[in-house]
Amino acid sequence: MPIRRRVLRPAAAAALCALFIFFAASCSAPMQQIVLKTREPFRSEGFKLNKGDVVALIAATNNDNGLEYRKLLGDFVEAAMQKKRPDIKVVTYWQTLSVINRDGYTDEYAAMLKNYTSTGILDKKVLNRLADALGATYFAQPRILDFSQKQTIRFNPMGLTLFQTYETQIKIYLEIWNARTGEIAWIGVAEANLASDQFMARPVPFEEAAEVTIAELMNKMQIEAGGIDLTKKTEHQGE
């Protein structure tokens, strides 16, 4: 009696191949790539955050990209600053708004931000009044210059998406203003490209991208200004 051999059809073979890749990918570790770039367009001579300084956060301007996220920036700047420099006080964005409204500076504050969009200047008189109310030494103004997310499908057998890449790009700009003199003390810009490349990769959220980028800005400020990193002794090398 002749032996009948079963030959896999192309579709079945492709399905088995996809199934094999599915299990192989499920066992593999997630891959995330992060590319960071920072630069310092300006730093005033002798700028350095000293122990006991008070940095108050103010809002980004209304014409920034990623408008829906801009209010969250202050939270990340505050967290990164407190981690890097626990010896300074940071007045949160929400505290700043509360004091402005409580003390009746709302109109002046709104006018200052509006004028900033055309002049790039934060009015010294308003800064002085806010400094008195908040006890601030410096004001920090973070802004989103660019924020985008995209998805790329890398392996799609028979219409079944198995491998995909999620990519998030963000560019954050940070200004530090002297609360008394009205001068710009420091400007930093950081760009980050985060890619999640794995089986059924997850999107890289704004919060994760912003946190990494702002932390890098804080590192840049410390290095360039010759500041002391008070957390260095407690952190592991290479982290």
Model confidence pTM above 0.85: no
* Measured distance CA(183)–CA(139) in Å, rounded: 10
Residues facing 89 on adjacent strands: 54
Ramachandran category for residue 226: left, alpha or beta (phi over 0 → left; psi -120 to 50 → alpha)? left
Residue 107 lies in a domain: yes
Residue 18 lies in a domain: no
Domain count, the chain: 1
Assign residue 151 the CATH number of its domain: 3.40.50.10610
Residue 66 lies in a domain: yes
Tens digits of pLDDT across the chain (239 residues): 555 555 445 555 555 455 445 444 444 445 568 899 999 999 999 899 999 999 999 986 655 555 566 678 889 999 999 999 999 999 999 999 999 999 999 999 999 999 998 999 999 999 999 999 999 999 999 999 998 888 776 555 555 555 678 899 999 999 999 999 999 999 999 999 998 776 555 778 889 999 999 999 999 998 655 444 444 433 333 33
Residue 120 lies in a domain: yes
Residue 97 lies in a domain: yes
pLDDT tens-digit map of 65-78: 555 666 788 899 99
Rounded to the nearest angstrom, the gap between the alpha carbon of residue 67 and the centroid of all alpha carbons in its chain is 14
Residue 237 lies in a domain: no
Residue with tokens 């001068």: 183
Residue 8 lies in a domain: no
List Cβ neighbours of 71 (8 Å cut-off, separation of 6 or more): 59, 93
Supply the range of the domain harboring residue 89: 31-225
- Amino acid at the residue 28: S
Residue 231 lies in a domain: no
Pick from 201, 25, 66, 53: which is nearest to 138 by CA?
53
